[in-house]
Amino acid sequence: MENNEKKRILSMYQCTGTFTLGNYLGALRNHIRFQDEGYQCVYALADLHAITVRQEPANLRKYTLEAYAFLLAMGLDLDKTIFFIQSHVPEHSQLAWVLNCYTQFGELSRMTQFKDKSAKHADNINAGLFTYPCLMAADILLYQADYVPVGADQKQHVEIARDIAERFNGLYSPTFTVPEPIIPQHGARVMSLQNPLSKMSKSDENQNGNISVLDDPDTIMRKFKRAVTDSESCVRYAEEKPGVKNLMEIYSCITGKAMDEIEKEFEGKGYGDFKPAVAEAVIGELRPIQERFRELLADKGYLRGCCRENAEKAHAIAQRTLSKVMKKVGYLPL
Ligand code: TYM
The predicted model scores a pTM of 0.96
What is the H or E stretch that residue 84 is in? strand 81-85
pLDDT at position 282: 98
Task: Kindly report the protein residue whose alpha carbon is nearest to atom 33 of ligand 1.
Answer: 11
27 lines ligand 1 (CB under 6 A): yes
Q: What is the pLDDT of residue 5?
A: 80
Note if 202 is an active site residue.
yes
139 pocket-lining for ligand 1 (C-beta < 6 Å) = yes
Give the integer Cα–Cα distance in Å for 85 and 46: 7
Ligand 1 pocket test, candidate residues 9, 11, 13, most atoms within 8 A of CB: 13
Cβ of residue 150 lying under 6 Å from some atom of ligand 1: yes
| Catalytic annotation present for 199 | yes
Rounded to the nearest angstrom, the distance between the alpha carbon of 267 and the centre of ligand 1 is 35
- Using most ligand atoms within 8 A of CB, pick from 34, 43, 150 the residue to mutate for ligand 1: 150
**Confidence (pLDDT) at 225:** 97
What's the pLDDT score for residue 4? 61
113-122, Cβ contacts within 8 angstroms, sequence gap of 24 or more:
113/153, 113/156, 113/157, 117/52, 117/53, 120/203, 121/53, 121/54
* Structural contact between residues 63 and 45, judged by C-beta atoms closer than 8 angstroms: no
Looking at residue 2, its pLDDT comes to: 45
Domains of the chain: 8-188+299-329 (3.40.50.620), 207-294 (1.10.240.10)
Query: Splitting the chain (334 residues) into consecutive groups of 10 residues, what average pLDDT does each group show?
Result: 76 97 96 96 98 96 98 98 98 98 97 92 94 98 98 96 98 98 90 96 89 98 97 95 97 96 96 98 98 98 98 98 98 93
Ligand 1 contact via 161 beta carbon (within 6 Å): no
What is the signed CA dihedral for 105, 111, 112, 115, rounded to 10 degrees?
-30
Cα(182)–Cα(33) distance, rounded to whole angstroms?
13
Distance 112 CA to ligand 1 centre (A): 14
